Homo-oligomer: A and B are copies of this chain.
Amino acid sequence: MEGKVEALFRNPSGILSSDAPGNDIAISSRVRLARNPADRMFPLRESEDERREFAAEVAAAVPEIERLGGADALVFDPEHMGAIEREVLLERYLASREFNARPEGALLAVRPDERASLMVNEDDALRIQCLRPGFQLDEAWEEASALDDELGSVFKYAFDEKLGFLTADPTNVGTGMRASVMLHLPGLVLTNQIASAVAAVGKLNIAVRGLYGEGSENLGNMYQVSNQSTLGESEKQIIDRLGAVVSQLVEREENTRKLLMERDQHGMLDVIGRSYGVLKHSHRLSSEEALKCLSGVRLGVDMRLFKSLDVDRVNTVFMAISPAHLQKRAGRELDQSERDVCRAAFCREHLN
């Protein structure tokens, strides 16, 4: 059976694509809007059956919502999916941990290009998400806003004239918006500048987190930079402020890379070469080491050091070696040791 997850599985991921502006350092941009219907409780206050009822309502509306792909939208029912397939959605940034933890009455609608999606009955009843490759915060925001308009014409949102949109978590009240950019910052990490950069940004109410969000440490030198406040500014103001910070970080990373190449070319080539050597020749590879090495190879690709490797290839491997993707590919559960062997085999085969 060729399922919906398989359909997604054929692509590296809609958000990881080389045809994007500034995709050397800014990997992807995301805007997420939290919305709730005025006539319902927040999902956590509802019974499973109430949640299922609302999910069915949304499922019925999806084919009419153009920005989700209309009739082509992929609709997932987590309750009737296996754990590995749900995890695949998480690894593709389409589902959240909270969403996967509570599949009863949950629903996910995804546009086939994966750049627009809708989680139903996560902490909020509706979570709109728009993803874009590279540094495209404005575009992601415009897309999310348009999808929001479409949905808003179907569901009457809980909205307070003074506060704005009402959300399950009070830190989302107001715009209900969380915007973020994923940055690849190996230069700042190599030169021990990352801690001071994170601290400086924190003062601007901008948060920096690891690859998989809150609490996750530095994996593969990837950092999610996102707005912390959702009140007191318009969405555009938040996006602009976040964009300015991202631009600064990107510039700092660029300058650091140039400096490193000037001051220690052999050291840089060594980091990049060894990263490639491990990916190309190891037979056991942990997720952490693989991401670290992919960071080195990505840096080399950015610097045009590889003849036959491009960023699309790096992105394909980046996504494919995630634990659930490996298991989905193998067609069965794999323990960690088996995953490490499969991960190494995939890298050896696909990094030419």
A interface list, Cβ under 8 A from B? 266-267, 269-270, 273-274, 276-278, 280-284, 341, 344, 348
Contact = CB atoms under 8 A, between A and B. Distances in A.
A277 B266 contact: no
**Copies of this chain, whole number:** 2
Q: Is the interface of A mostly helix, strand, loop or mixed?
A: helix
Of A273, A278, A280, A348, most buried by chain B (CB within 10 Å of CB) is A273
13 contacts: A266-B284, A267-B283, A270-B282, A270-B283, A273-B281, A273-B283, A274-B277, A274-B282, A276-B277, A276-B281, A277-B277, A277-B278, A277-B282
Contact of A284 (B270, B278, B283, B341): B270
Contact of A283 (B269, B282, B344, B348): B269
Contact of A281 (B267, B280, B344, B348): B280
A240 to B, nearest CB: 42
- When A and B form their complex, which 10 residue pairs have the shortest distance between CB atoms, in order from nearest? A277-B277, A277-B281, A273-B281, A270-B283, A269-B283, A270-B284, A266-B283, A266-B341, A274-B282, A273-B283
Contacts of A283: 266-267, 269-270, 273
B266 A273 contact: no
A344 B270 contact: yes
A326 to B, nearest CB: 15
B281 A274 contact: yes
A348 B344 CA distance: 22
Contacts of A278: 274, 277
